[in-house]
Amino acid sequence: MPRPIIYFARHGQTDWNAERRLQGQRDIPLNALGRIQAAQCGTILRDLFARDNLRAADLDYVSSPLGRARDTMELMRTGLGLPPNDYRIDPRLMEMSFGRWEGYTYEELQLREAQSLAAREKDKWGFVLPEGESYEQLVVRVRDWYESIERDTVVAAHGGVCRALIAHLGIEPKETASLGDIGQGCLYVFAAGGMTQHP
């Protein structure tokens, strides 16, 4: 029996995203562009559902507890004509903790944490950030969440969570799943063992 389809949106942009600061589990709100991107995700979803002859109300909706993901979910649901607040929160979808690195840019960390930063570059997946997590730890809770879903689901979460899902589903090996950008204002559809990006 095929696994449920996941419609995954990374939250819209925040000021810390724009400044390239590590957010992790800090609760930084969407900025004006981020709200536009979140609404755009709702439009993309509406078009995908129309293409596939799906009723938006028939899917499950779940968000990370962080405000930037919740606001993204509520703007998407508004665009779908659904009550904005009628969705579930799951703490397993919270972004990876960057511990004491949260709030810093990589340039700032090169001055403050050069040795730890170099160690992470050698093993980006397994390195446990100071007072934080590793991708290896993150994928455990993301896998636990994924195995619990029972029907097609719309998700609002984070770039790290998306990378963990990509690795768990074997779409990319963990060495490359931790690299590359996870876009904002677009949708990732996980289905039939693969992933597509829209638009």
Mind listing the pLDDT tens digit for each residue in 149-186?
A: 999 999 999 999 999 999 999 999 998 999 889 999 99
- Residue 79 pLDDT more than 90? yes
- Encode burial over 13-24: b for 16+ CB neighbours within 10 A, e otherwise: bbebbeeebbbb
- Residue 11 pLDDT more than 90? yes
Split into its structural domains, the chain has a count of 1
The pair of three-digit structure tokens given for residue 196, joined into one six-digit string? 């597509």
Domain ranges, residue 188: 6-198
Do 163 and 108 form a contact (C-beta atoms < 8 A)?
A: no
The single-letter code of the amino acid at 143 is R
Residue 1 in domain: no
Catalytic choice (95, 102, 113, 133): 95
- pLDDT at 170 (0 to 100): 96
Do 24 and 34 form a contact (C-beta atoms < 8 A)?
A: no
CA distances from 188 to 10, 21, 132, 163, 183 (A): 9, 23, 27, 11, 9
Catalytic choice (11, 74, 102, 158): 11
The pair of three-digit structure tokens given for residue 64, joined into one six-digit string? 């990370």
- pLDDT at 1 (0 to 100): 79
The single-letter code of the amino acid at 105 is T
Alpha-carbon distance 74 to 52, whole Å? 22
Catalytic, 131? Answer: no
Catalytic, 95? Answer: yes
Q: At what angle do helices 135-148 and 159-168 cross, to 10 degrees?
A: 70
Mind listing the pLDDT tens digit for each residue in 49-65?
A: 999 999 999 999 999 99
Alpha-carbon distance 106 to 146, whole Å? 31
- pLDDT at 168 (0 to 100): 97
- Residue 70 pLDDT more than 90? yes
What's the mean pLDDT when you consider all of the chain?
97
**Radius of gyration for the chain, computed over Cα atoms and rounded to the nearest angstrom:** 17
Mind listing the pLDDT tens digit for each residue in 112-140?
A: 999 999 999 999 999 999 999 999 999 99
The count of C-alpha atoms lying within 13 angstroms of the C-alpha of 56, restricted to the half-sphere facing its C-beta, is: 19
Do 151 and 9 form a contact (C-beta atoms < 8 A)?
A: no
- pLDDT at 180 (0 to 100): 83
Residue 17 in domain: yes
Mind listing the pLDDT tens digit for each residue in 14-52?
A: 999 999 999 999 999 999 999 999 999 999 999 999 999
Cβ count near 188 (within 10 Å): 20
Domain of 181, CATH number, reads: 3.40.50.1240
74 — pLDDT class (breaks 50, 70, 90)? very high
Secondary structure class of 21 (helix, strand, coil):
strand
